[in-house]
Structure 1
Amino acid sequence: MDRFTHMGVYGLVAWEQKVLLVHKARGAYMGKWDLPGGRLEFGEQPETALHREIEEETGLSNLQLVIRSAESNVLKWMYEGEPEELHHIGILYDVYLTSESRPYEIKREPDGEDSLGAQWFTMEEVSALSLTPFAQHMINNSIVSGADGNSFE
């Protein structure tokens, strides 16, 4: 069995008591809902990579990032008919919209790469979704705040 390590950056974006998730188009988490984010390019700083990935997958820019933690998990999956073991490491951020961000204008269509589109979900809606481990971790360990200052777990 082939074994690989993948490191990426991922962010929990919250707005009006909703979280922004992307529907995975490929890879070990195909069909699941994930945090916006992805792989760092060679030599790229993690925050630069996360800004780039969020803009590519969701269309959002002008964001504030606050690092929360680094997590990892190991999963087994089939890649092109062959078993593969993946050690997935994620640098995880809380992402805040600024006054210049445009949350109504997210990309809801596939990006031609890794995302089938982005969507805002309430916490009630999230409970019915199949989430990636990093999305599950961040959401389970968060208080999502709305623009009105209210928050919920």
Structure 2
Amino acid sequence: MVKHTHLGVYGILVQHDHILLIQKARGPHKGKWDLPGGSIEFGEEPEHTLQREFMEETGLGSIKGSIRTAVSYTIVYQYEANQMEELHHIGIIYDVELLDDQARIQTGGDGQDSLGAKWIPIDTLGLLPLTPFVEMMMEPELETNPEAGIEE
């Protein structure tokens, strides 16, 4: 079995009791809802990764992040037809603030990892297929920002 470690940066953006999630287009969590984010490129600062991935996956470019935590999990899944992979996924999780109240999310996906972004009511998260990082972050401490509006 192939073993692989993946390090990524992910963001939690909550407004009006909704969280911004993307639907995974590939990988072990295909079809599940995930935090926007992804892999750190060589030499890239994590904050820059957060901004780049948010732009690619949600269309939101005017954000500010502060580190919340770092978490990890392992999963065994079928990588190719006859090959299993054990993935150790490490995530640096940021709390994200949207700096432009007029910004709209892109709902069509990025053509790679995301099928699209969507504002999901926090109280419905338990009804959806979620990635482990979203499940880990579903704590009562998810704060909402009642000052900002939600635009799709």
What TM-score does the superposition give when structure 2 sets the normalisation length? 0.91
Contact 1:19–1:144 (Cα < 8 Å) also in 2: no
SS of 2:60's partner is: coil
Q: How many Å separate the matches in 1 of 2:15 and 2:40?
A: 25
Cα distance change on mapping 1:80 and 1:137 into 2, 3 Å:
same
Partner of 2:95 in structure 1?
94
Q: Letter of the aligned partner of 2:121 in structure 1?
A: T
Give the conservation status (yes or no) of the 8 Å contact 2:24–2:115.
yes
Aligned counterparts of 1:148 and 1:97: Cα–Cα separation in 2: 11
Aligned pairs, how many? 147
After superposition, what is the alpha-carbon deviation per residue over 1:74-104, rounded to whole angstroms, capped at 9, x for unaligned?
0000011211100000000110112x2434x
Question: What does 1:28-107 correspond to in 2, within 5 Å?
Answer: 28-81=28-81, 82-98=83-99, 100-103=100-103, 105-107=104-106
RMSD: 1.4
Percent identity, please: 46
Unaligned stretches of 5+ in structure 2?
A: none
Unaligned stretches of 5+ residues in structure 1: none
TM-score by length of 1: 0.91
- Ranges of 4+ aligned residues in structure 1 off by more than 4 Å: none
Q: Is the 8 A contact 2:14 2:142 kept in 1?
A: no
Partners of 1:15 and 1:97 within 8 A in 2: no
Q: Which residue of 2 aligns with 1:133?
A: 132
